[in-house]
Amino acid sequence: MMHKNTNDELTQDLSPTQVAEEDLKRQRDLEEGSTSVEFDEPADNDPNIVNWDGPDDPANPQNWSMKKKTVTVIIVSSVTFVTPLASSIFAPSIEQVMTEFNSTNTQLASFIVSVYLIGYCFGPLVIAPLSEMYGRLPLYHVCNVLFVIFNVACALAPNLGGLIAFRLLAGLAGSCPLTIGAGSLADMISKEKRGAAMSSWALGPLFGPVIGPVGYQKN
């Protein structure tokens, strides 16, 4: 008995039982969605692939010690807490600010608080591509320094226009840890162990704006 298929020359010497077993195996493979097609993996020396110097490269953040990873997660999470904190910490003092600048415009008072968040909208559009070009660490350093400078400038602003401008710039710089913080953790920690680190990092944007307005005013 000859089994009719595309490989007659390979199956013509098989017994009916063997042919039936082959048919059953093919049917099972089709039902399970298996395939015998093999894809060639890219060669390790492919010049188009940018990678580390082997799996044990000490420069790879995945190979850092647990202590170094923990310290880095704490630092990134702390910075991610401070910048959202600054978005609302200004709110309780807005009445004194408007009195200082002799203004009674309530819409302007609300805008001074919320203009910071406009920086959060546009900052990532610039910071994210720059982090891919120059790395995350330089962006952290530059944006943290600018964040401090612009907040000091807010305190020294001579008028409401200057205060609004510096609040906007502070929001632009403060969006850095929110933009690339999660990527920093993903660079260091494998996906199987990333949950706890991501949870601690996410506490900053969650609690920062809530804690910001809480304070005491001395009479």
Of 217, 9, 205, 218, the residue nearest 88 (C-alpha): 205
Whole-angstrom distance, CA of residue 214 vs CA of residue 186:
32
Q: What residues contact residue 88 under an 8 Å CB cut-off, 6+ apart?
A: 113, 208, 209, 210, 212, 213
Task: Return the pLDDT at 56.
Answer: 77
Cβ distance 196 to 71 under 8 Å?
no
Structural domain for 175, as ranges: 65-211
Task: Return the pLDDT at 49.
Answer: 73
Note whether residue 219 is domain-resident: no
Q: What residues contact residue 128 under an 8 Å CB cut-off, 6+ apart?
A: 179, 180
Note whether residue 60 is domain-resident: no
Here the tokens at position 35 are 């395939």
Residue 63 has pLDDT above 90, yes or no: no
Residue 25 has pLDDT above 90, yes or no: no
Note whether residue 185 is domain-resident: yes
Question: Residue 111, Cα to own-chain centre: how many angstroms?
Answer: 28
Q: Encode pLDDT of 108-123 as tens digits.
A: 999 999 999 999 999 9
Note whether residue 98 is domain-resident: yes
Question: Residue 204, Cα to own-chain centre: how many angstroms?
Answer: 13
We report the CATH number of the domain holding residue 92 as: 1.20.1250.20
Residue 46 has pLDDT above 90, yes or no: no
Mean of the per-residue pLDDT values of the chain = 83
Q: What residues contact residue 60 under an 8 Å CB cut-off, 6+ apart?
A: 52
- Helix, strand, coil: what percent of the chain each, to 5? 70, 0, 30
Note whether residue 133 is domain-resident: yes
Task: Return the pLDDT at 133.
Answer: 92
Q: Encode pLDDT of 163-213 as tens digits.
A: 999 999 999 999 999 999 999 999 898 888 888 889 989 998 999 888 888
Q: For the chain, what is the domain count?
A: 1
State the amino acid at position 34 in one-letter form. Answer: S
Q: Encode pLDDT of 129-155 as tens digits.
A: 999 899 999 999 999 999 999 999 999
Note whether residue 16 is domain-resident: no
Note whether residue 9 is domain-resident: no
Residue 45 has pLDDT above 80, yes or no: no
Residue 11 has pLDDT above 60, yes or no: no
Count of Cβ atoms closer than 10 Å to residue 98 Cβ: 17
Residue 36 has pLDDT above 60, yes or no: no
Note whether residue 12 is domain-resident: no
Q: What is the pTM of this model?
A: 0.72
Q: How confident is the model at residue 51 (pLDDT cuts 50, 70, 90)?
A: confident
- Give, in degrees to the nearest 5, the angle at Cα 71 between 136 and 170: 45
